[in-house]
């Protein structure tokens, strides 16, 4: 099954939240947030994150999926001082199935930037 990348849009804030929270549970030391704090955030906070990304011109929140199932996320942010530089944040690939093709998800995310 192919790995596909989609942009997160304001209307799909729930999959972003769910993947973000899953990443914090799976790899708590790998990220700058804490699951308990992020889980307590109201829907408006998650929506505003994606709304700000949509209008910034610098942010690119990505959803990786295998088939129709979410399988990972990545937040790419262009450096405002060096527009040719893209920093990756929140990069995470789900450890559970679907696994077909998932070793390539991280590489695919980086290449799509």
pLDDT in tens, 7-65: 666 567 898 899 999 999 999 888 888 999 999 999 999 999 999 998 998 998 888 87
| pLDDT for 73 | 86
> Residue 79 burial by CB count (10 A; 0-12/13-18/19+): exposed, middle or buried?
exposed
Spell out the alpha helix ranges (H) of 1-56.
Answer: 13-26, 35-39, 43-56
Q: How much of the chain, in percent, has pLDDT values that exceed 70?
A: 74
Predicted TM-score of the model (pTM)? 0.78
Q: What's the topology of domain 3-111?
A: Aminopeptidase (3.40.630)
| pLDDT for 13 | 87
Q: Given a cut of 60, is residue 108 above it in pLDDT?
A: no
Q: pLDDT averaged over the chain?
A: 80
């Amino acid at each position: 099954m192919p790995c596909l990348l989609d942009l997160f849009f304001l209307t799909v804030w729930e999959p972003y939240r769910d993947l973000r929270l899953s990443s914090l549970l799976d790899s708590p030391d790998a990220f700058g947030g804490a699951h308990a704090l992020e889980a307590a955030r109201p829907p408006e906070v998650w929506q505003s994150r994606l709304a700000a990304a949509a209008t910034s011109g610098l942010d690119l929140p990505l959803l990786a999926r295998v088939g129709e199932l979410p399988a990972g996320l990545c937040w790419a942010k262009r450096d405002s001082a060096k527009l040719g530089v893209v920093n990756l944040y929140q990069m995470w690939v789900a450890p559970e199935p679907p696994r077909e093709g998932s070793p390539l998800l991280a590489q695919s995310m980086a290449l799509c930037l």
